[in-house]
Amino acid sequence: MTKPITSDPQIVMTANSVQVDIANAPSKWELSVKFFDGGGGQRRPVEFTVNGKFFNGEDRLVEVVINRLSWEDGSGESWCFEGYIVGMNLNVTGWFRTTNRKGWMKFTK
């Protein structure tokens, strides 16, 4: 089981931002359901697994509430996003492809 990022003390950053690779992004279906389904003011977080090179080799689960989503190249498979990590005071920006479910994200204070 992948540990959630919120339980990891290593995310305390000394710089203003840290970029990590996305090892497993949501499918297009999961992305659309979670992004557009937020009735009653409750936003649904999207789950990403980020590469463990920043976390002593262990991949981490990151729950992101996406506030902005846009096509990166017009293909409908490549996405740019902005949001925040659930339970932490970190903003996030990133990019991923729904075809291979890979990409990157940057955490900022």
| DSSP codes, the chain | -PEEGGG-GGG--SSSEEEEEEEEPPPHHHHHHHHH--GGG-PPPEEEEE-GGGTTT--EEEEEEEEEEEESSSSSSEEEEEEEETTSS-EEEEEEETTT--EEEEEE-
Provide the pLDDT confidence category of residue 15 given band limits of 50, 70 and 90.
low
The mean pLDDT of 68-77, rounded to a whole number, is 86
From the list 108, 106, 109, the residue with the least C-alpha distance to 50 is 106
Instruction: Tell me the average pLDDT across 87-95.
Output: 89
Q: Read off the pLDDT of residues 17-48 as tens digits, 9 standing for 90 and up.
A: 888 899 999 999 998 888 887 666 778 899 99
Residue recorded with tokens 């540990």: 3
Residue predicted with more confidence, 56 or 76: 76
